[in-house]
Structure 1
Amino acid sequence: MIPYDGIGGVETAAASIATGPYPGFGFHKAYIASKRPVTPRPYVYEPGIGPENNPLAFARTIRHLLRLRPAALILSLWRSCIVGLVVKTLRPRTRLVVFLHNSVDSNWVDAVLTRLAARLADAVWADSASTATRRLGPAWASRTRPISFLTAHLDRVVGDRAAPRFITWGRLHSRKRIDLAIAFFALVHARHPDARFDIIGPDRGERTMLESRVAALGLTDAVRFLGPADADEIAQHAATATFFVQTSRAEGMSMAVVEAMQLGLVPVVTPVGEIGSYVDDGRNGIWFETAEDARDQVDRILADPAELAAMRAATVETWRDRPIYRDEFLSACAELVKRRTTRTA
C-alpha cells in the first residue's frame, strides 16, 4: 500500500511488480488516493478520491482492506502507516511490514507514525541497511531486511562524446535542492557557454522559484524544465548528456542515481543515504561537497577523455548482475507466507 500511483521511486518500484497470483500467495496493490482517473485493474484498489489527505480516501481504503482481509500488509510512506495501524487495531492478526525508503523523516508526523508502525510490525524492510540505521537507530539494523532498489537492468545509452551536458530527474521538491544544482551549473556555464542542463520531473511546489532563479542567473537559454517523463523519454534525453546531477539533502537508495549510472551518466551527487556506499568519489562519480569543487572536477574530467571513458565504464559496471527489486521483494513475501504457515501448523 502506498499513498497514490504517481511519479517517484516508491511508485516506480511498486509498478515494477505485477499483481496477481504467485506460488503460495496473491499480491494486491492498494492506493489511498487517486491522483488520476481510476482505471479498473485486477488486484488493484483505488478509492476514486483525489487529495491524499482526504479523510474519506483513508476511510474507503480501510474499509476495502477490512473486507479483503490480507494476511500481510506492506506499508510504504507515512500515510500508509495511518491505514495500517487502523487495520491492525481492528484485525490484530494482520501482519504489518514497514518498508523504509528514505534515511530521514519527512516531518514530525512521519517520525511518530513510522516508529509506531515499526514497533507493531512483524517485519521491517528498507531500500538499504543505512536507511534503517539512520531512520530507526543502530539497534534496528539487524532486524531489518534490505531489499534491492534496482528495479530493472538498463542498457547504456550514453556514447563516448565529452560535452558539458547535464541532466537530472525526480520531483521538484525542496528536499532535492535543485536550486543548489542550478547554482553549480551556473559556475560550469561561466566556463563553458555551450553547457546545457535538462531538469525532468513533476512540480512539487518548486518550479516557479527555480525558473525565477534560472532567469536571475541569465541561464534561460541553457536550462530546460521538461516536466514529467516516462523511462523511455528519460533515456532519450540522457543519451545526449554526460553528467547526472543530484544535490539532495537526504535520500535512501536513490533510484534516480542508480538508473543514471546504468545509462552511462557520470553522477555528480551529494553522498547522502546509501549513495556514498556505491558512488566512489573519483572512480565512478563525483561527490558534491561544494559547487566550486564539483565544477573543478567536471572541468578536469571534460579535459581528459580517457578519464571520462574510464569513469563511464565504472558507473555501468557498478550495477551489472546486481539483484533486482522484483525478485528480492517477492522472495521476502514468500518468506512471510512460509513463516505464517509454519506458525499456524
Structure 2
Amino acid sequence: MHTSSARDAARIRVCHIVHSGKVGGVEVAAALLQAEQHPSINYQVAVLAQLPDGEPQAIKAPDCVGHGLNNPLSVLPVLKWLHRNAPDIVVASLWRSVLVGMVAKLINPKRKFVIFLHNTQYKNVLDRAAHRLGFRLADGIFCDAPATRQAMTAELPLETGQIHVVPLVARGGRSRHTPEAEQGPVGAVAGGEIRCVFWGRLAKQKRLDRAVHLLAELNNRATVPVRLDLLGPDEGELDEMLRLARSLGVEQQLHWHGAADWGRIRDVASGASFFIQLSDFEGLGMAAVEAMQLGLVPVVTPVGQIAEFTSDGVNALHFDSAAPVAERMLSVVGEPPMWERMSAAAVAEWSGQEDLSTAFETVCRQFLANQQANAANHVIRGAVS
C-alpha cells in the first residue's frame, strides 16, 4: 500500500530562485511550473524581490521572498528556505540568483546546483561574471532552447549529461489549466484597421525603435488606420520610444498598456493580425512562441531559436528593414486567405507539444540519472586506477 508520504518522498524536490515576480519570460515559466505542479515534481519558487502592490506579477504567490534585488541580505531567507525544503535540485535563473545559488552550493556541496540560461548573450559585465563563476560550481546547466545551449555552453568543459534543453513552450498552447474553449487562434485580420501587438519587457535588447519605424512605414503606406499595442514593464526604453514616435508622426498609433497578465495580453491580441518582435538577440523567444500558438503572424528578427521555428513567408515574416517588411505586411492583410494560411501554419508549428511541467520533469529526471551515472563512473575509474 502506497501512502501519501511515500508518494511525496518519491517526487523530485526542485527549488527555483529568480529575481522577482514581474511579468517576463523567466518569471512566466516559473509561474507556469508552480501552477501546473507535475505529479512527480515538488516545485517551489523563490523571488529575491517582492513587487509593489498593484503591479502585475507573473509569480503571484512565491514560496520564499528575499529582502530586495540588490540587497545581500536576500540570501538569508533563501538559505533558510532551502534548508527547510532539502531540495534535490536548486535551480537559479538570472545572475543575482546565480550568486545566491553559489552560496547555497558552498554551504551544502552535496546538493545539486543547476544554472538555467534563458538568452544567447550576457546583458552586461556583471551578468557574465556571475555566470562564469557559477559555472565553476554548477552540477549542470538547463537552457531554454538549443540556440541558447550552442551560444552559451559550447566552450564549457562539462561532462555528458550536464547540459539539458528544457523546451519552454508556454501560455498560448495547451495546458492542464487552459480550457479547451480558449485554445486556438485569437488573431484576426481586423476589418478597417491593421493592428500589431508586442508583449515583453520594454528593454534595449527588444529594439522597439525598429518597431516604431515599422509602424511609421505602415502608416505612410496603408489606406486604413494602423495601430501598435505594447504590453510589458518599462525597463528604460519607453521615453525614447515615445520621442521617436512623435518625431515620426505615429504617437497616436502607439499604445502602451503597461505590464499585463496573460488574460489582458490575450484580450489585446485577439484583435491583432501581427506580433512584432525585432530583438537584437533572444534565447527561445517565448513571446514569439506564445503569439504563434495564438494564431498571430509573427514579424520577427530571425535570432536565437526563432530562426529555427519560423519560416519566412510560411508561418512568419522575417525583418531586415522597415520599408520592405511594411510592404509585405500590407500584402498579407490585403489577401485574407494568405493571412489565414500563415496563421494556421504558425499554430501548427507548436501543435502536439507537451506541456511545460512534463518537459521540465523529464529533464530533471534525466539530469539526476546522469549525475548518478557519472558518480558511479568516477567510483569505478578510481577503483581501477
Q: TM-score, normalised by structure 1?
A: 0.90
How is 1:119-134 mapped onto 2 (pairs within 5 angstroms)? 119-134=136-151
**Hey, what's the Cα distance between the residues in 1 that align with 2:52 and 2:298?**
33
**Hey, what's the Cα distance between the residues in 1 that align with 2:36 and 2:188?**
39
TM-superposed deviation, 1:9 = 0.6
Alignment-mate amino acid for residue 245 of structure 1: I
Q: Does the aligned pair in 2 maintain the 1:25–1:334 contact within 8 Å? A: no
**SS across alignment from 2:22:** coil
Q: Deviations over 1:60-85 (max 9, x none)?
A: 32343345443320111111110111
TM-superposed deviation, 1:265 = 0.8
What is aligned with 1:171? Answer: 201
Distance change >3 Å, CA 20–CA 301, structure 1 → 2 = closer
TM-superposed deviation, 1:108 = 1.6
Q: Does the aligned pair in 2 maintain the 1:24–1:337 contact within 8 Å? A: no
Does residue 209 in structure 1 map to residue 228 in structure 2? no
Instruction: Indicate the larger mover: 264-273 or 128-137.
Output: 128-137
Instruction: Indicate the larger mover: 245-254 or 16-25.
Output: 16-25
**SS across alignment from 1:228:** coil
Distance change >3 Å, CA 167–CA 19, structure 1 → 2 = closer
What is aligned with 1:103? Answer: 120
Q: What residue ranges of structure 1 are gaps of 5+ in the alignment?
A: none
Q: Which one of 47, 61, 68 corresponds to residue 78 of structure 2? A: 61
What is aligned with 1:299? Answer: 330
Does residue 45 in structure 1 map to residue 64 in structure 2? yes
Q: Deviations over 1:70-119 (max 9, x none)?
A: 33201111111101111111111111111111011111221122133223
Q: Does the aligned pair in 2 maintain the 1:176–1:246 contact within 8 Å? A: yes
How is 1:55-204 mapped onto 2 (pairs within 5 angstroms)? 55-137=72-154, 143-152=162-171, 153=173, 154-159=183-188, 161=190, 163-192=193-222, 194-204=225-235
Does residue 7 in structure 1 map to residue 23 in structure 2? yes
How is 1:224-239 mapped onto 2 (pairs within 5 angstroms)? 224-239=255-270
**Hey, what's the Cα distance between the residues in 2 that align with 1:21 and 1:147?**
16
Q: TM-score, normalised by structure 2?
A: 0.81
Q: Which one of 196, 220, 223 corresponds to residue 251 of structure 2? A: 220
TM-superposed deviation, 1:341 = 7.2
**SS across alignment from 1:116:** helix
Alignment-mate amino acid for residue 159 of structure 1: A
**Hey, what's the Cα distance between the residues in 1 that align with 2:29 and 2:73?**
26
RMSD: 2.7
**Hey, what's the Cα distance between the residues in 2 that align with 1:134 and 1:43?**
31
Q: Deviations over 1:207-227 (max 9, x none)?
A: 122122222222122111111
Alignment-mate amino acid for residue 48 of structure 2: I
**Hey, what's the Cα distance between the residues in 2 that align with 1:119 and 1:243?**
43
**Hey, what's the Cα distance between the residues in 2 that align with 1:158 and 1:246?**
16
Alignment-mate amino acid for residue 294 of structure 2: L
How is 1:281-296 mapped onto 2 (pairs within 5 angstroms)? 281-296=312-327
Q: Does the aligned pair in 2 maintain the 1:133–1:139 contact within 8 Å? A: no
Q: Does the aligned pair in 2 maintain the 1:151–1:326 contact within 8 Å? A: no
What is aligned with 1:333? Answer: 364
Distance change >3 Å, CA 158–CA 2, structure 1 → 2 = same
TM-superposed deviation, 1:24 = 6.3
TM-superposed deviation, 1:337 = 4.9
Instruction: Indicate the larger mover: 322-331 or 258-267.
Output: 322-331
What is aligned with 2:12? Answer: none
Q: Does the aligned pair in 1 maintain the 2:188–2:296 contact within 8 Å? A: no
**Hey, what's the Cα distance between the residues in 1 that align with 2:37 and 2:371?**
18
Does residue 30 in structure 1 map to residue 59 in structure 2? no
TM-superposed deviation, 1:151 = 2.1
**Hey, what's the Cα distance between the residues in 2 that align with 1:135 and 1:151?**
22
